Amino acid sequence: MKTFPFIYNEPKEFLKFLQPKDWANFFLGEINPRFSVTATKAKVMDVIEETNDTKSIVLKPNWLWKGFQSGQHLPVTVEIAGRRITRFYSLSSHPSDKYLQITVKRQKGGLVSNFINQNIKKGDILELGDASGDFVFPKDVPKQLLFLAGGSGITPIHSLLKDLEKSKYDGKVTLLYFVRSYEDIILKSSLEKIKSNVKWLEIVYVFSDVPKEGYESGFLTKEILEKYNKDLKSTSVYVCGPSPMQTKALSLLDGVNVKSELFLLPNQNVNQVKKEGTVDVFLTLSHKTIQVKGEKSLLEELEEQGIYPQSGCRMGICHTCVCKKQTGSVTDLSNGEVSELGEENIQICVARAESNLELEL
């Protein structure tokens, strides 16, 4: 039997738990875990093993789900060791499919990607946010498309290919998919099914680590681009994959219409200086003061002391961790800018303490 989480230290914190929506969510959750008046919750309908380190999670969301466009991503929240943690994943399904699908590849040191692959099973409940992102087709889809995918970067491209299939597209599409080996091809059966259903799609698998007879091998080069697309200037290119591949693609495709999808971690070396001592951070809602070194993001330094504010992407994209800074100065790790001393909203996942702070946490 679950108990309603009456956890509070001050009267104003206690009052938060008397809100009608909180009570409604609690009692609805007792009836059915997917029921909520505020959160989009989804039941895991199936877990599909794509490769030895990648799984597709098939999801049935509740009535609060607002839909998506092919190519978009969404925040997924899981609870790990009592902490709610959110990460962004591209949707690999099509908007018209019966259920949603995300495809998650295990990342070295990836807390959520490893948790999902190891622990999520049929019948579990995940919390979703709204879909977003502009890695989508324009209103008038180009007649010549080139997709460059690397590893799990195939996920949103798979959704875009399904969109073309369902819309009776009649142009020309080439997919160059770079993976380590034949066994690492993600969503292979679905890709091959799409290819067999249409006449406009050419799929080229390129293996970087383990060559296979009859297939291309190596990395992205000017030669392989020109081999499979003779007219790049007239082609719209969609790129999704690891940062080195995208950097190479953008350098090779200068002057070409390119749309890319890449989440970059904040640059921790921005204006890096060796600090001496600590700075005080007063958390006004918790009524406690902690000391941090100001060498990492505020989110990381808070978590190291057992304080876990709400967070999401951890790279300055989703704004889940925004809080009010009442006094003090921080450095924005995404661009190196140092804030003023006054009141403002900051993202603690990409903010590093530069002076004593007061935060509304």
Residues ≥6 apart with Cβ < 8 Å to 311? 85, 86, 299, 320, 321, 348, 349
Residues 130, 74: contact at Cβ < 8 Å? yes
pLDDT in tens, 326-358: 999 998 887 788 887 788 999 998 899 999 999
Q: Pick from 260, 263, 220: which is nearest to 71 by CA?
A: 260
CA distance 166 to 176: 21
pLDDT in tens, 110-136: 889 999 999 999 999 999 999 999 999
CA distance 293 to 268: 14
Q: Pick from 86, 95, 165, 155: which is nearest to 126 by CA?
A: 86
Section 179-207 average pLDDT: 97
Chain-centre distance for alpha carbon 169: 28
Residues ≥6 apart with Cβ < 8 Å to 337? 331
One-letter amino acid identity for 341? L
Which tokens belong to 74?
Answer: 């969404």
pLDDT at 273 (0 to 100): 54
Which tokens belong to 121?
Answer: 């099973």
Q: Which residue has the tokens 């889809």?
A: 141
CB atoms within 10 A of CB 231: 10
pLDDT in tens, 210-245: 999 999 999 999 999 999 998 998 999 999 998 889
Measured between alpha carbons, how far is residue 243 from residues 153, 238, 293, 325 in Å?
11, 14, 30, 32
Least confident of 36-45, 91-100, 121-130, 280-289: 36-45
pLDDT in tens, 24-34: 554 445 555 55
The pLDDT of residue 71 is above 70: yes
Section 265-274 average pLDDT: 52
Residues 275, 293: contact at Cβ < 8 Å? yes
Q: Pick from 106, 118, 155: which is nearest to 261 by CA?
A: 155
Q: What is the pTM of this model?
A: 0.76
